[in-house]
Amino acid sequence: MRHVREAVRFADGITHLSAQGVTTCLELGPDGVLSGMGADSVPEMVFAPVLRKDRGEAGSLVEALAQVYVRGHVVDWSAFLAPSRPRLVELPTYAFQKERYWVLPTPSATDTSLETVSWRYRVAWSPVTVASGVLSGAWLVVVPAGFAGDAWVSECVAGLARCGARPVVLELAGDESGREVVAGRLRPLMAGEPGGFAGVVSLLGLASGRDGVFGSVPVSVALTLGLVQALG
């Protein structure tokens, strides 16, 4: 009757509980009204309402139990979770444990008997024996204009000479990719070699830029095509 007829000494009650060593309160009610009042009375205490207005009951209950649990109180999780029949799983690690956690993929077996396997493009490396021998005769070395003194070109020419060949260097400018133009450049060189050229080394791939006539074609490709056509 005193509780009904007299002022409710809620703050005094919460203060008394705090003095007795109570640090956590679980509110069983339709909302967290008392938890809010208790926090105003004793801010250092923790109040966990099991039901909250405008929130799902299951989520509010789990949140309240979690608040109690993380503060060192015992929660019978087995009884609480029994209806859902949960199972234990390993949790991912965190950075400070220096351990990784991810599912390793299971390699699938490749069926080499499938006919389509042979259709796929593959890169295979096989050791080969470099043929030994001595070169002879004149060798035509075709380079882009201005590359005759290039270090790579000079080394290639010197390498041919060391192997017994006699290099003859021809420079082609970017606007000399036509078949007739290249053929005209070759005629005086071939006239000086009655026996013809023993071999041709094309370094026209060193050229950069686009062809003057066909702008979408690299000049190196245009020059190479003109050389092949001129040589017949």
Task: Say what the pLDDT of residue 98 is.
Answer: 67
For 34-80, the pLDDT digits (tens) are 998 998 989 999 999 999 888 889 889 999 999 999 988 999 988 88
Task: Find, among 219, 216, 223, the residue nearest to 208 by Cα.
Answer: 219
Asked if pLDDT for residue 95 goes beyond 70, the answer is: no
Task: Say what the pLDDT of residue 55 is.
Answer: 86
65/80 Cα distance (integer angstroms): 10
Find out whether 182 and 191 touch, Cβ atoms under 8 Å. no
Task: Say what the pLDDT of residue 211 is.
Answer: 82
Q: Which domains does the chain have, with CATH numbers?
A: 2-90 (no CATH), 138-231 (3.40.50.11460)
Asked if pLDDT for residue 174 goes beyond 90, the answer is: no
For 187-221, the pLDDT digits (tens) are 999 888 888 899 999 999 999 888 877 778 899 99
User: Is residue 24 within a helix (H) or strand (E), and if so which, with residue range?
Assistant: strand 24-27
Quick one: what percent of the chain has pLDDT higher than 90?
44
pLDDT band at 17 (very low <50, low <70, confident <90, very high): very high
